[in-house]
Amino acid sequence: MAWTDQPAADRVRWVAESLGEPRTANWVATEADVSPATARKYLERLAEDRRLRRVDDGERTLYAPDRVSQYLDEVREAYDAHTADELAEALSDIREQLSAWRDEFDVASPNELRATVAGVDRETAERRREVAIEWEHLATRQDVLEDALELYDRFPNEPVPA
């Protein structure tokens, strides 16, 4: 199915929720292949639903993903998809991997690891950059899974996700 065969509202949402920086409705319209008026309509709806946030930039309104909503969605998805035991096991795996990288590279954070790429061969530098990216991903995933696991304690009488 072609991009333009997708509903306009979906295209605007997909573009808007993947933004790395605030953008105008016109920019989103171009990327989503819709008119600026159509983009503005759906962007405003997404902002009202707290999927996006409005950023005032002088005379322009920019739109950016609402990172809190995205984070909470990820927590809910993890909670719905995994039992408490599965979440605990995944957390244990992540913690072991992060600990292994701390020991292997003798650093405490991904940025400290990035700082060690100067003066090493290209292959080593590339591996360290890749590990730093994965480290950041796993650290974020760890936060999500910890919060999802906490939902089991906060809402003990809720049905267990299937």
Residue spans of the domains in the chain: they are 3-65, 69-154
- pTM for this one? 0.73
Phi first, then psi, for residue 40 (nearest 5°) are -60, -45
- Average pLDDT by consecutive 10-residue portion of the chain (162 residues)? 86 92 96 96 94 91 92 93 94 97 96 92 94 95 96 81 59
| Residue 1 confidence (pLDDT) | 73
Joined together, the tokens standing for residue 157 give: 């009488």
| Residue 92 confidence (pLDDT) | 97
| Residue 5 confidence (pLDDT) | 83
Q: Which of 90, 104, 99 is nearest to 142 (CA)?
A: 90
Joined together, the tokens standing for residue 143 give: 């936060």
How would you classify residue 119: left for phi > 0, otherwise alpha for psi between -120 and 50, otherwise beta? left
Task: Please state, in angstroms and rounded to a whole number, the distance separating the CA atoms of residues 150 and 40.
Answer: 38
Task: Please state, in angstroms and rounded to a whole number, the distance separating the CA atoms of residues 143 and 145.
Answer: 6
Q: Which of 66, 102, 82, 68 is nearest to 145 (CA)?
A: 82
| Residue 128 confidence (pLDDT) | 95
CATH for the 3-65 domain, from 3.40.50.720, 1.10.10.10, 1.20.1600.10, 3.10.129.10: 1.10.10.10
| Residue 2 confidence (pLDDT) | 83
Q: Which of 57, 60, 70, 58 is nearest to 20 (CA)?
A: 70
Residue 29 burial by Cβ neighbours in a 10 Å radius (0-12, 13-18, 19+): buried
